A and B are shown apart, each in its own frame.
Chain A
Amino acid sequence: MKTNKFSGKGLLMVLALSIVLLSSCSDDNGNGPSPNTGEVMFGVNLGIDGTEYLVNTDNLMEGKITAVGRGVETHSFGMAIPVGKFLYLFNGNENTIDQMEMTATGYVKITSISAATILPNGSRNVSEVEPGKLLFTNWPNADNEVTYAFISIPSFTVESYGTFDAPKLGNYEPVELGGPGIVSNNKIYFGTMYSNRVTWDTFPDSLVTLVYDYPSFTNPTFLTSTATLGATSSYMPHSMVKDEQGDIYQVNIRSKHWYNMGTAEDKPTLISKISNGSYDDSYVFDVSEKYSETISLIGMQYVGHGIAYGRLGNEDATNEWGVFSNGNNTSVVKIDLYNKTITNMDLPLSPLRFGLMAVHNGKVYWPVAPVGGKAHIYEIDPSGGADAFKEGAELEGSNFRLNGIYVHPLDQ
């Protein structure tokens, strides 16, 4: 926005008054720090009161991370993905998708694509479905249509866009589609939440994954598994992850606090596997049976070699979503997908937060903001156990919500 300039010579009196009064009311607009340049710079997305600040740091382990006086202000609601030195994110003020470049001094906006035509209802998922190609998709609308857009990077050009249908399943409709979408062998797999739009009853018989031919979004087929029920459509954190072999691991959200999961409430939290185009019935990782209390696993972040991390909620602690999400009721867990083990990290319990965490040089960087304590980023060593972590940088002001930590190799 441009600032208007004074006009008219007869306004000297107003000007004088303005100058006198304004001399005592300057704002606190500090300049951003000048971090040491290195081969990697981290971006941290701090949210407060619906606004986000993209700040940069080259060190997640020391000092304080703050948006006071620094950072790029944006409204993306975490709808962002880092690829190389760029961050691609939704700009909710201008209804655009922006390409931001991480530099030695922070993010700089390079260019934008208008979302008005290609994603008229916004976007709920973004993923790099194949090298150099981003896929943005929204949840199905009331007519069960899904809008999508492919964007080539780093040229940042619209490759194609349009809509495809998400079929109903009996009387149940696809109210969510995401996970995010994972491409494997010319197919794209979406986690789903099939519900009755009136009662929000979850599809009562099975897990449902929707598969299309890729990239045409034709020939939709259902994959189902009766191992459990629930939603598999979470983008942030992910409901679905893909390992080095191309197998997809999928966790179901069946929390009683999550919409009205209804019939899923007494079903277990499971991790399932999709391999060679179908659910692998020989693989079931029953997470619930590992705990005496009722739990739910709110998504995963894949690290490598069968190790993922997730956030586990204690459902017995409370009956209300507000208390569940704002009290110290979730813990960080290490999940060994291959050996079907789960380990509660000895990190402080904290409220539920959604966000994308970072994996860099084989280490995981995860923020924990407990009620009653200071918020820190922790560096977790996937090769270790419950105590294999170090306390890192402090997040200044716990009313910041950390929506994501983005890793940017500056030479890519």
Chain B
Amino acid sequence: MPSKFSLALLALVFCFSSHAIKAQQNNFNPESEIRGVVYDKNGVSIPGISVMVIGTSKGTATDSEGSFVISSIKPGEYILVVSGVGFVKEQRKVMIFKGESLSLDFRLEEDTQQLTEVSVQGKSIATEIKERGFSVEAIETKSIRTQTVELNRVLDRTAGIRVRQSGGIGSDFQFMINGLSGRSIRFFIDGIPMDYFGSSYSINNFPVSLLSRIEVYKGVVPVSLGSDALGGAVNMVTRNDVKDHLEFSYSHGSFNTHMATVYGQWVEPNTNFTARISGFYNYSENNYKVWGPGVTFADESTGFRPVEFTKDNPAERFNDDFRTANVKADIGFTDKKWANQFFLGTIISDLDRGIQTGQTMAFVYGDARYREKTIIPYLSYQKSDLGKKGLDVNVFSAYSIKEGINVDTSRNVFDWRGEIITRRGNGGELSQGRGRSLFTLFENAWVNRVNATYTINDKHAIGINYVMNNVVRNGKDEFQPWYRTSFLEPQSLQTQVGGVSWQTKLFNDKFISDLFAKYYGFSAEVNESFLTTNSQGEQQYINRVIDSSTDNLGLGYAVSYRLSDQILLKSSIERSTRLPTTVETLGDGLTIQSNPNIRPEQSLNFNLGGIWKERINDAQNLKIGLSGFLRDTEDLLLFTITASNGNGIFQNVSSTFGKGLELEMGFNQKVRKHDFEFTANSTFLDMRNTQRWDAENPAVPNAVFGDRLRNTPYFMANAGLRYTGEDVFKDAGKLTAYWQVGYVHEFFLNWPSLGAANQKAVIPSQLANDVGIGYQFPKEKVALAFDVFNLFNQQLYDNFMLQKPGRALFIKLTYRII
């Protein structure tokens, strides 16, 4: 496999290198360019600022890191106009010579008169995304990078989103967008599906410090994110600075948690040779206190009656430590004629974590672990105006080599005292009697993405996106017999997702629409050991190949209309498909049975919403957003437990129909240099089982028809107060403080209508308070932040009988060297 990979990589490098050289030769001309960075008065780079060359059609907007490049300028004298919402416009006369690359930085003053004006110029990328018809949240991370805040927590505060964690840092999580969850939600990093990037690249672990923004699409997903996301998608956009930069951060806090990040870039000014590095290291013992149902001990002294630990006498988690290290390094070129960016890079990550519990805290493990190593070489290429003005192309290709090891070799049985209470003869904490296991999964994946957009004119643009993944899996187990080892024979899986879109902007950009179509293709080749009888009547295992393939089409439309300067209306609709995964189709060989008759999950998603922004006076702004949605899902893929040890099968068990409402508001009060912002949102979901007749017996009614979906939170609310003070303590020193409250109403683990209400398993209501304070020293070199999560030390649950951490304190230092 490595040789195949090497050849493929070499071929790609050769291909792009040849193209690059050719492009360089063909495109060489005496025209010049202007480049630079736009900062605010504190030296903070500003994205989305308009930079126009008066008297020409040349112009651009600054990128997420405040940088801009205007190329193909003929020599001469020009006036540059730099403007953006909330800033005083600046004009500067420049003289540019033949072939010159003129570097200019701007420092804009704030214009409080303009703060709430809506303008088509000077919008941040996040604002531009929000103004499209998709139901989307775009979260700029700049203001929270210095906090010790996990990505999960940031997303959890967003309307319509619920992140359900089984424990502390690095624990398993389930992400829900507007009622749909599991594999219906897909994750991307810079538009690339994250499935094969290893466990370190996960929203329960990835540092906010390394991100530029997070985009969350609800229900309807644009073509540029190529995946069979049925319920929504999360795209994490990494930082992409174009100037020299080096910073690191270190955070330390409760449960012996250490988190460190580094981010740096160096650009050789003559050749634009660029080197980037980003990395992080997270460690936590996660030894937080737990008590209550399932957190018990029992022995002869108690007559084997379970004795619960209490809040005053809690137990401490003892096998939940988590450690991960990740380095991403790139070398390449930026801002060349033949490429805006061309990088060769590698991601190397290593993860090791303990496994503390089973499905509930009643099953406590003391030795089980999971370890994973991933290495991903890749290349990326990005070029605007490739061969033709308006044609922008992005290419990404990566080869992922992953090795994951489940360590379940212990014979010990533990209780919540951390004591060994007995031993299993043949061992295995997770396998519950199936015997000890040291299962290694080898996964090699080749991920390719091509994305191109062509801006035909000011009003129309078309785009295509194609993503192809090829995955090969093998498995081995040093303890289990071969016939119980999953993926002993290699399995291969190929998915293809292609899409075309047509964006239209009309009526002075008041009307923006995206019409798109998607193609989903899936094929799997699985080698399976199969018991058969030979001609002599003897039974024997033989290898058989099972081919499985399916494809599907989807169609969608997203539209937004700016009714006035204050009001924006949005709507989107999509018929989307999610293909069954290999495990859902063919099982895992251990605990999940195969279901060759499984069908793709399909959903019709519809969103409608509006945003009203009002500038009350010079110091006060108000924003209110209201949106509703419908989700009509058929053939929902659901894991159904069929045996007492938790084994089961994936089935197309029901159809569901859901509707929901999201309400958001924000109020901003400025008092001289002190800014107070209050935000709140709430989400109400009404997801119902709409399978009228029993799936196995169509003649009789389904007993839970019309019931609210089980194990699905349906009412959530968040509120936050944030203070930002300028020139505090020292000139250009910035003080921030926040208080954030999150509420989730209680919900039932199982179908709500069944059983007496007081006899049912319930995930209780939770109210979490987080507070923090931070200070950024002048020049943004040093920032110090102090955060407290779960301030009142509440007993919080996202899942049934899986308690989350109590009060946790963190301190974080961020230091920018360059």
Q: Chain A interface (Cβ within 8 Å of chain B)?
A: 1-8, 10-11, 13-14, 17-18, 21-22, 25, 27-32, 48-51, 53, 66-73, 76-77, 79, 90, 92-96, 106, 111-114, 116-118, 120-122, 124, 138-139, 141-143, 145, 157-158, 163, 197-201, 260, 262, 326, 351, 369-375, 396-400
Contacts and interface: CB of A to CB of B under 8 A. Distances in A.
B684 A25 contact: yes
Given A4-B767, A10-B741, A96-B306, 6 more contacts: A7-B794, A18-B715, A48-B754, A68-B703, A69-B755, A120-B433
A22 B694 CA distance: 30
A140 to B, nearest CB: 9
A161 to B, nearest CB: 9
25 contacts: A1-B764, A3-B746, A6-B767, A17-B663, A18-B715, A22-B715, A22-B745, A50-B648, A67-B703, A76-B644, A93-B761, A114-B296, A114-B297, A117-B415, A120-B433, A141-B425, A200-B531, A201-B539, A369-B697, A397-B694, A397-B703, A398-B694, A398-B699, A399-B696, A399-B703
Nearest to A53: B755
Contacts of B704: 48, 397, 399
B699 A142 contact: no
Interface residues of B, number: 96
A14 B696 contact: no
A356 to B, nearest CB: 15
B268 interface: no
Q: Which of B363, B682, B700 has the most CB of A within 10 A?
A: B700
A102 B699 CA distance: 34
Contacts of B433: 120-122, 138-139, 141-142
A70 B755 CA distance: 4
Interface in B781-818: 792, 794-797, 800-801
B663 to A, nearest CB: 8
B24 interface: no
Contact of A158 (B296, B303, B360, B641): B303
Given A6-B767, A92-B644, A71 B756 contact: yes
B764 A4 contact: yes
B697 A8 contact: no
A18 B745 contact: yes
Nearest to A114: B298
Interface SS, A side: loop
B11 to A, nearest CB: 44
Q: Which of B481, B695, B751 has the most CB of A within 10 A?
A: B751
A398 B701 CA distance: 7
Contact of A93 (B305, B653, B800): B800
Contact of B754 (A4, A68, A260): A68
Contacts of A139: 433
Contact of A27 (B292, B708, B759): B708
Nearest to B412: A120
A69 B753 contact: yes
B733 to A, nearest CB: 27
A7 B641 CA distance: 38
B202 interface: no
B703 A145 contact: no
A319 B435 CA distance: 32
B540 A199 contact: yes
A141 B757 contact: no
A73 B303 contact: no
B591 interface: no
B700 A2 contact: no
A396 B794 CA distance: 41
Q: Which of A3, A372, A396 has the most CB of B within 10 A?
A: A3
Contacts of A72: 755-756, 759
Given A96-B306, A142-B435, A145-B425, A66 B703 contact: yes
Contact of A7 (B682, B703, B792): B792
Contacts of B708: 27
A125 to B, nearest CB: 12
Contact of A29 (B684, B710, B756): B756
A398 to B, nearest CB: 4
A198 B483 CA distance: 6
B769 A3 contact: no
A118 B710 CA distance: 33
B686 interface: yes
Contacts of B696: 326, 351, 371, 398-399
Contact of A49 (B435, B715, B751): B751
B543 to A, nearest CB: 15
B408 to A, nearest CB: 13
Interface string B740-779: 0101011010111111111111111111010000000000
B794 A4 contact: yes
Interface SS, B side: loop
A201 B703 CA distance: 40
Contacts of A73: 750, 754-755, 759-761
Given A73-B750, A122-B433, A142-B434, A94 B641 contact: no
B422 interface: yes
A324 B757 CA distance: 36
The list of the 8 closest CB pairs from A to B, nearest first, reads A397-B703, A29-B757, A114-B298, A121-B433, A50-B641, A142-B435, A77-B644, A145-B425
B293 interface: yes
Given A14-B741, A73-B755, A199-B539, A122 B415 contact: no
A240 to B, nearest CB: 21
Contacts of B796: 4
B684 A7 contact: no
Contacts of A121: 424, 432-433
Contacts of A53: 754-755
A8 B741 contact: yes
B757 A27 contact: yes
Contact of B294 (A67, A94, A111, A120): A94
Q: Which of B415, B739, B750 has the most CB of A within 10 A?
A: B750
A361 to B, nearest CB: 29
B298 A117 contact: yes
Contact of A1 (B292, B415, B653, B701): B292
A109 to B, nearest CB: 9
B421 interface: yes
Contacts of B541: 198-199
Given A79-B644, A397-B704, A122 B754 contact: no
A278 to B, nearest CB: 30
B719 interface: yes
A201 B807 CA distance: 56
A274 B480 CA distance: 37
Interface string B710-745: 100011010100000000000000000001010101
A397 B644 contact: no
Contacts of B701: 397
A44 to B, nearest CB: 13
Contact of B362 (A22, A94, A163, A199): A94
A28 B306 contact: no
A372 B754 contact: no
Contacts of B760: 73
Nearest to B479: A142
Contact of A143 (B299, B425, B481): B425
B432 A122 contact: yes
B748 A27 contact: yes
Nearest to A371: B697
Nearest to B432: A121
B1 interface: no
B540 to A, nearest CB: 7
Contacts of B483: 197-198
B700 A397 contact: yes
B48 to A, nearest CB: 31
B422 A400 contact: no
Contacts of A118: 304
Contacts of B680: 13-14, 17
B189 to A, nearest CB: 33
Contacts of A79: 644
Contacts of B717: 14, 17-18
